[in-house]
A = this chain, B = another copy of it.
């Protein structure tokens, strides 16, 4: 059976060497609309995407919707953690794919797989994702690095995108599918990214190190002190 997603018969997974990342409208004002997940998590997650793209040398394109107006500026982490990102100013188009400069910038990367995150999911992610599938791209939508105004909106944006052949993913899965193996040089940097996305992972590392230090240093138990 052929999987119904837009992978042209390939395993429907991210090939980091053929992928570009598209980060859309992560602006301070639009973040205020996010109700389907924790605002702080959404911000942390899109920052992780920027970091992973840098680590894996994946081209990044950013864009914003009228940042001079109430939607506000892009969050500065994008530039900070993906300094190689190319910013494309739109001329008012809501669907980023309707902006020819943006499509040209994607084409210039030569990549045929897109990793897309954006605010608001049902608009800024769904519209260009569906457009890109229709234009022949393999598209992965990163839902918890995006966000929308209600749980219902999220559920139905998911359904619409999947119906159109977009592949849904979460941030950690994107990082892991790009990383592929712990048997590589930058494994530690990936671990740091997971520590931000998963606060529990950070705690695990701290516990692990203390458990080994306690043994290594022959620490006396507090409860066994005189």
Residues 144-170 of chain A, each 1 if its beta carbon lies under 8 Å from chain B, else 0: 100011101111111110111101111
A31-B203, A72-B207, A221-B68 known; A168 and B160 CB under 8 Å? Answer: yes
Give the residues in chain B near A67, CB-CB below 8 Å: 210, 214, 222
Residue among B8, B92, B98 making CB contact with A222, cutoff 8 Å: B92
Bound together, the chains give a CA A203 to CA B201 distance in angstroms of: 14
A41 and B127 CA atoms in complex are apart in Å by 23
B-side contacts of A94, CB under 8 Å: 176-177, 179-182
Contact B33 A198 (CB under 8 A): yes
Q: In this complex, what residue of B is CB-closest to A161?
A: B159
Interface residues in A, total, Cβ within 8 A: 110
Interface status of A18 (Cβ within 8 A of chain B) = no
Question: Which of B3, B127, B163 contacts A176 (CB under 8 A)?
Answer: B127
Residues on B with C-beta less than 8 A from A4 are 1, 4, 163, 165
Q: Is the CB of B173 within 8 A of A222?
A: no
A144 and B157 CA atoms in complex are apart in Å by 12
- A48–chain B nearest beta-carbon distance, Å: 13
Tell me the complex Cα distance, A126–B221, Å: 24
Q: Which residues of B contact A36 (CB under 8 A)?
A: 152
- Do B127 and A13 have beta carbons less than 8 Å apart? yes
Are B1 and A187 in contact (CB-based, < 8 A)? no
The answer to whether B28 touches A207, judged by C-beta atoms less than 8 angstroms apart, is yes
Does A204 belong to the interface (CB within 8 Å)?
A: yes
Complex Cα distance A38/B200, Å?
10
Q: A69-B208, A212-B215 are in contact. List 4 more A-B contacts (CB 8 A).
A: A40-B40, A69-B221, A90-B222, A92-B224
Report 6 cross-chain contacts, Cβ distance below 8 Å, ordered by A residue.
Answer: A32-B200, A39-B199, A72-B210, A92-B223, A120-B172, A150-B170
- Top-8 shortest CB links A-B: A92-B183, A92-B223, A211-B211, A92-B182, A182-B223, A28-B206, A72-B207, A40-B199
